[in-house]
Amino acid sequence: MFGQDIGIDLGTSSILVYVKGKGIVAREPSVVALDRATGKLLAVGEEAQQMLGRTPESILAVRPLREGVISDYSTTEKMLRYFLQNVTNHGIFGSLFKPKVVICVPSGVTEVEERAVIDAGMQAGAGKVYLIEEPLAAAIGVGIDITQPCGSMVVDIGGGTSDIAVISMGGIVISESIKIAGDNFDDAIVKYIRKKYNILIGERSAEELKIRIGCVSKRDKLLAMDVRGRSLISGLPKTIQVSSDEVFEALEETANTIAETVKTVIEETPPELIGDISARGIILTGGGSLIYGMDKLIKNETGIKTQLADDAESCVAMGTGRAIHNTAVLQSYNTRNRRKIN
């Protein structure tokens, strides 16, 4: 066991690392803290996330990925190196036998963005880097037998992108990736509170509202939560109470955009596969799919039963790891012909 096989869900909001035989061994926010002067890595993950918006000028806390792709190559490479060193063997065998790594990417990624991910993985210490599209990894992680000649539909809503794909016979028949996902929900809440109450709240507060009382289909029972921000009128701290109905108003437009994209993919799907999808249903994965009512919204919009996958946040990482020895799936990424929606 000199080399290790590793799967990485390199997400905008979080990074999950899967090691064969061990399962998911790391689950951390995709945040890095650096010394501005030297570029030295100071903290990664949860520790670095606590520094966002709270650092002195000498420390830079950043998210090196935006909308599902690398926006800061050097910082992403340092983050990947940190995680690879923590999960691989140390000492002489750890340096001689580099791991084989599979990293997931959005289905709409460009060749330049693909190359950036591969190069970052290699520079971080991988012996070989393979790429797999997020919805395909999600399907494998859910347990769908992707080799069968029948259609399955996966909607993966992450932090930076939402990937919708129809899968059959080991590949993606049709897919669409939009840069609207969980982070956009947070932004929508910030904008709504600012417009309605003239109060500015932070990303962390918006995310807490989303998780605790957020919904994209109205709840049967009205919920409320206190949130603290800065008044744009007085400049002083102020606390307000926000209801779940207000959060629904804030998120409605963003959620409907995702649902409309799902409908568009269905409309472009070959008729032979529509029957399969109607019978099997739509599977939701990714952290963004956990918001209350997302399954109900997509079911109402498409007329197709929709269900949330078990452990939806981990599906992509699990599938990425399980795909390591599926050579056909990994090699087909760059060779198969896929229909894309323009």
Q: Tens digit of pLDDT for each residue in 240-296? A: 999 999 999 999 999 999 999 999 999 999 999 999 999 999 999 999 999 999 999
Position 336 scores a pLDDT of 42
What is the pLDDT at residue 330?
Answer: 66
Average pLDDT value for residue range 5-10: 91
Mean pLDDT of the chain: 89
Q: Helix (H, G, I), strand (E, B), or coil: what is residue 28? A: strand
Confidence bin at 334 (pLDDT 50/70/90): very low
341 burial type by CB count under 10 A (0-12 exposed, 13-18 middle, 19+ buried): middle
Type of residue numbered 74: S
pTM check: above 0.85: yes
* Residue showing tokens 């649902």: 259
* pLDDT on residue 329: 66
Residue 57, SS3 per DSSP: coil
Q: Rounded to the nearest 10 degrees, how much is the dihedral formed by the CA atoms of 148, 149, 153, 154?
A: 30
pLDDT of residue 95: 53
**Residue 254 burial class via C-beta count within 10 angstroms: exposed 0-12, middle 13-18, buried 19 and up:** buried
Closest alpha carbon to 183 in 67, 293, 289 = 67
Nearest CA among 78, 55, 69, 180 for reference residue 125? 78
Burial of 310 (0-12, 13-18, 19+ CB in 10 A): exposed
Question: What integer pLDDT is reported at residue 108 of this predicted model?
Answer: 76
Dist. CA 65–CA 67, nearest whole Å: 7
CA distance 211 to 251: 12
83 Rama class: left (phi>0) / alpha (psi -120 to 50) / beta: alpha
pLDDT, tens digit (0-9, with 9 covering 90-100), for 20-75: 888 899 999 999 999 999 989 999 999 998 888 788 889 999 899 988 888 889 99
Q: How confident is the model at residue 170 (pLDDT cuts 50, 70, 90)?
A: confident
Alpha-carbon separation of residue 156 from 206, 258, 283, 295, 302 (angstroms): 21, 10, 8, 12, 16
Higher pLDDT among residues 86 and 277, named by residue: 277
The CB density around residue 117, as the number of other CB atoms within 10 Å, is 23
Q: What is the pLDDT of residues 98-152, one digit of tens each?
A: 888 999 988 878 888 889 999 999 999 898 899 999 999 999 999 998 888 899 9
42-46, 183-187, 223-227, 338-342 — which is least confidently predicted?
338-342
